[in-house]
Amino acid sequence: MNMMRTALLLAAMTALFGVVGGLLGGQSGMMIALVIAAGTNLFAWWNSDKMALAASGAREVDASTAPELVSMVAELARRASLPMPRVYVIDSEQPNAFATGRDPEHAAVAVNTGLLNMLNRDEIAGVIAHELAHIKNRDTLIMTITAALAGAISSIAHWGMFLGGNRERGGLGPIGAIAVAILAPIAAMVVQMAVSRSREYEADRAGAEISGNPMALASALGKISGGVAHIPDENAERHPAMAHMFIINPLNGSGMDNLFSTHPNVQNRIAALQQLAQQMGVQPQASRTGFPGGGGAGRRGPWG
């Protein structure tokens, strides 16, 4: 099913490339755009994880530089029957996290320092388990390719706006090019939405089962949502095509972000986790992750 969704996503993004190229440069523009799309698809398949990590400013950590974090990821990966992913830390005060990689053997988990400082140990475990669920479900390939292609579509549309379109070859001309520059990124965002919302609910459920504590993940989602609303992330704002990769949309403040949100409503996600906790027999105050020390995670050394 995930391979089929990936194929459909690639087809939709490639078609969007062609449409944008055709509107800006006529038949020749469409052919050029399709060639660029094919190259971008191939490049994104192998390199989109590196692009996402570089764009976010992530730095890799290991057992010597972030022992508690790496140990936690290793234990949760073992519970999920996954290979150990690479672990990254992003120096951002906004609490957030994402996973990337084309398959479980080439996966990475990236965590903002703001999340490590704001959440307690069980909540951090819940977030990491959520990201590992994305890896196990092979959602990360879809997320990273979508981010790469959406960014490329926005770039080609804006280049077309500056070049004014090519009316002599069937393009829309300057006014049409401006319209395409506005509408093409929105169309790319709609494609992102089509594959995103149900995936987050599934990762919440699977992540709660991996960590053993749905209420810890529910609590984490509430804290992250509140933090995102008040703490901007400059890297995320510069790379909005990556927004759907994070556990909570990192973009701040615009109505457009809410209208075209790539994530389900946080309160709905929390309600679903509360229902799952009842089914699992987990009490609201219970700490069942198996990780000692439920206090704050503000100690920079062990967490990275």
SS3 108: strand
Which residue(s) pair with 60 in the sheet? 88
Beta strands in the chain (DSSP E): 58-61, 86-90, 97-100, 108-112
Token digits of residue 96:
């957030």
Which residue among 131, 168, 200, 234 is the active-site one?
Answer: 131
Which residue(s) pair with 71 in the sheet? none
Phi, psi of 60 (to 5 degrees): -75, 140
Phi, psi of 195 (to 5 degrees): -115, 10
From the list 208, 186, 195, 182, the residue with the least C-alpha distance to 244 is 195
From the list 85, 118, 93, 73, the residue with the least C-alpha distance to 236 is 93
CA 252 remoteness from chain centre: 15
Question: Is 131 annotated in the active site?
Answer: yes
Active-site residue set: 131
